[in-house]
Structure 1
Amino acid sequence: MGFELLTPQYMSKIQVNKLHTLTGHNDCIYALAEGSDPRFFYTGSGDGMVVEWDLDNPKDGKLIAKLPHSVYAISVDKERNLLFIGHNFEGIHVIDLNENKEVWSLKITDQSIFDIKIIGKSLFVATGDGVLTVIDIEEKSLVKHIKLSSKSARVMAVDNDQKHIAIGFSDHTIKIIDAYDFKPVQLLEGHSNSVFALAYSPIHDTLISGGRDASLKFWDTKTYQQTNNVIAHMFAINYLSFKEDGKYFITCSMDKSIKVWDAENHKLLKVIDKARYAGHGTSINKVLWSTYNQSIISVSDDRSISIWEVDI
C-alpha cells in the first residue's frame, strides 16, 4: 500500500492553527505525559529536566525535577497524583505532584528507560536490555524482572480492560503479556524494523503499531490478527496518540511531520509540517491529543513544544 491521498473535502474540512511554541529545554525532548488534571502536561528531555506546563498559561513552565542523565520516559499515576520519571542508567524517581517533591526512588537498571505504564498498583518499566520490570507502587518495591528480548523494549500500551500490556521491541516484534500473571498471550510479527509506537483504540477492537519501517499496522485485539498495513510516513514513526473519542488518531515521525488519521477507515486526513503550518524543524518524538481542550501537543529534537488547535 502507498500513501493515502488527501481528498479536497478533507483538506477544507480540517483547520489547523498553531497556538503556541514553548521553549526552555536545552536538549531534545523525548517524553510527554498528561497530568491527573489534564490541564497540565509534563515533558522530559535529554537535559535531564522534567517540566510542568499549564495549557491555560502555557508560556510559564515549572521545573519539577533536574536529573544528571537524559529522560526518555515519564508517566502520571492519576489515582495517586504521582509522576514517575525514568532516569536513564539509574531507575525510577517518584514526584508527589500535590507537594511538588520527590517522595521515593528505586535503582532498578543500568539501561535506558524507554517507557513507563501504570496498571492498578503495578508500575511497568521497559528498558534497553529487553527487560520488563514490574514495581509495586504501594510497597515501593521490585516485584519482577522479565527478560523478553535481547533487543530494547521501546514502547508499551495497555488495553481498555487493563488486562493485557503490549510491548514493542527493537527485534521488530510486539509481545502481548497478561498484566497480572505476566504470562505471554500473543506474539505479533509483521514489522521489518523497531517498533516505537503502540496504542489500543478507545472504541474499536484494534491495536495500532508503528515504527522505524514507517508503516502503521492494525491488529484485531480479539484474534491479534493483522487487518491492515499503511505506509504512513517517509521515515520512522516515533509515536501515536488517539483523540479521546477514539474516532481519530495522530502519528509523529522522524520526517518532521504530524499526521491526522481517521481511526475507522485508516485514511489520512491532514499533514501538519513545517512548510504548511510552521511545524517542527527536526524529528518529532512524541504527540499527545489533550483530553483537556482537544489540542495536539508535540515535542521534538528541535528542543521545542508545539500546541496545535485542530478543528475536525
Structure 2
Amino acid sequence: MIIEKIDTFGGHRDCVYTLETGLQSNQFFSAGADGLIVRWRLDRPDLGELVANIPASVYALALHPVSGLLWVGQNYEGIHLIDTLNKQEVGSLKLTSAAIFDIKFYKNDAFIALSDGVVAVLDAEQMAAKKYLKASDQSARCLAINPVERELAVGYSDKSIRIFDLTTYDLKRVIPAHTNSVFTLAYSPDFRFLLSAGRDAHLKVWNVEKNYDLQNDIVAHLFAINHLTFSPDGHLVATASMDKSIKIWDADTYRLLKVVDRARHAGHGTSVNKLLWTDYHQELLSASDDRTISVWKISQ
C-alpha cells in the first residue's frame, strides 16, 4: 500500500472539526472552531470559498440529500440551513442550548446528537421537532443509521451504545461498549457490522446479525480515536486519533495496513479530528487541530 499526500488546504483560523461531501464529487465542506463554513474543490485546492460564517464553533455538518441544503450545527444555538450555491441562510431552528455533535438523515427525519444526552428528531422538511430521545444524562456524541434493520445507533459519553428503532424511536438495546466516551460509529457498507471507537483508543466490531455480539476488540491508537470511516469500495477502514495519526485497516480482517503520521508522510502535527473518504478518485481527507485539511491518495 502506497500513501501519498496530494494537497493541504489551509485557511481556517482555528481547529477544523468536521468535513462533509459537496454537491459534486470534487467538492467538500469544512468547519470548525472559527465558525467558517468553507467549500473546497479537490481539483483546485487554491479555490477555497466561504459560504457562511457562524458565530460559534461547528462540530457537525450534514448535506441533506433531497434539498441539497447544508445543515450546520451551531454550538449552543441550533441548526442553520445554508443554500451553498447562493451562500444564503434559508432556515434555522433554535433547537437547544447544548452543543451539537452529530447530524444524520433517514427518510424525512433528521437526528441531532446533543451534549445534554438528548437525540432530537426533526421533520427535515418542516424544520419542526418530532421527538426527543433522552436515554442518558451524558452527551450523545455520534450517530449511525442502519436502513436494513431500521436502526439508529447512538454513541454516548457514558461509555454505552444505544440502539433505537428508526420507525417507532423505541430503545431496543443498550450495549456497554467502551471504558470511556464513544466518539464515533459506522455501520459497514453491507450493514452486517457496527464499528465503534472513542476515548479509550479501542476499535470494536459488533456483529449486528448476532444481537450486536462483540466480534473484535483492537487496541488501535495511543490516544482517543476521534473518527472512523469506510472507503467507498468498502474494502478499507480509516481511523483518526488524538495521537496525530491516521491508520488504515483491512475491512475484512481488521489487520493494520498503514500508519499515516508526520514522520513518515508529512501528516498532521496535532489531533486528527475528522475523516472524509471521497468518491473523487477515492481520495481520503483529514481535518486537524493544526487548522489544515490534508488530501491523501491511497494505492494498493
TM range (shorter): over 0.9
Aligned equivalent of 1:261: 249
* CA RMSD after TM alignment: 1.1
Aligned equivalent of 1:249: 237
Q: Out of 93, 97, 103, which is 2:84 matched to? A: 97
SS in 2 for 1:129: coil
Are 1:153 and 2:140 counterparts?
yes
1:247 and 1:183 mapped to 2: Cα distance? 33
Unaligned runs of 5+ in 2: none
Q: Does structure 1 conserve the Cα–Cα contact (< 8 Å) formed by 2:98 and 2:116? A: yes
Report matched runs for 1:149-298 at 5 Å. Answer: 149-161=136-148, 163-203=150-190, 205-222=192-209, 223-298=211-286
- For 1:76, give the aligned amino acid: L
- For 2:246, give the aligned amino acid: I
CA offset at residue 49 of structure 1? 0.7
Per-residue deviation, residues 173-199 of structure 1 (Å, max 9, x unmatched): 001111121111221113000001110
1:64 and 1:210 mapped to 2: Cα distance? 32
Q: Does structure 2 conserve the Cα–Cα contact (< 8 Å) formed by 1:36 and 1:78? A: no
CA offset at residue 288 of structure 1? 1.1
1:171 and 1:72 mapped to 2: Cα distance? 19
Aligned equivalent of 1:131: 118
Aligned equivalent of 1:310: 298
Aligned equivalent of 1:5: none
Per-residue deviation, residues 220-266 of structure 1 (Å, max 9, x unmatched): 11121111100000000000010111111100000000000001111
**What is the TM-score when the length of structure 1 is the normalising length?**
0.93
2:70 and 2:176 mapped to 1: Cα distance? 33
CA offset at residue 163 of structure 1? 1.5
Are 1:56 and 2:43 counterparts?
yes
2:218 and 2:152 mapped to 1: Cα distance? 23
Rate the CA distance shift 1:162–1:96 in 2: closer, same or farther, 3 A. farther
2:149 and 2:283 mapped to 1: Cα distance? 26
After the TM superposition, which of the residue ranges 100-109 and 197-206 deviates more from structure 2?
A: 197-206
- For 1:140, give the aligned amino acid: M
SS in 2 for 1:292: coil
1:220 and 1:59 mapped to 2: Cα distance? 43
2:155 and 2:164 mapped to 1: Cα distance? 11
- For 1:256, give the aligned amino acid: K
After the TM superposition, which of the residue ranges 99-108 and 156-165 deviates more from structure 2?
A: 156-165
Identity %: 46
SS in 2 for 1:275: helix
Rate the CA distance shift 1:181–1:36 in 2: closer, same or farther, 3 A. farther
Per-residue deviation, residues 254-283 of structure 1 (Å, max 9, x unmatched): 000000000111100000000000000000
Are 1:67 and 2:54 counterparts?
yes
1:233 and 1:28 mapped to 2: Cα distance? 21
**What is the TM-score when the length of structure 2 is the normalising length?**
0.97
Per-residue deviation, residues 273-306 of structure 1 (Å, max 9, x unmatched): 0000000000000011112220110000000000
1:190 and 1:121 mapped to 2: Cα distance? 29
Aligned equivalent of 2:2: 15
1:169 and 1:293 mapped to 2: Cα distance? 34
CA offset at residue 160 of structure 1? 4.4
Are 1:33 and 2:13 counterparts?
no
- For 2:153, give the aligned amino acid: A
- For 2:218, give the aligned amino acid: V
Q: Out of 119, 131, 152, which is 1:144 matched to? A: 131
Rate the CA distance shift 1:20–1:162 in 2: closer, same or farther, 3 A. farther
* More strand by percentage: 2
SS in 2 for 1:207: strand
CA offset at residue 159 of structure 1? 1.4
2:177 and 2:31 mapped to 1: Cα distance? 31
- For 2:110, give the aligned amino acid: L
Q: Does structure 1 conserve the Cα–Cα contact (< 8 Å) formed by 2:148 and 2:191? A: no
The 4+ residue runs of structure 1 with deviation greater than 6 A are: none
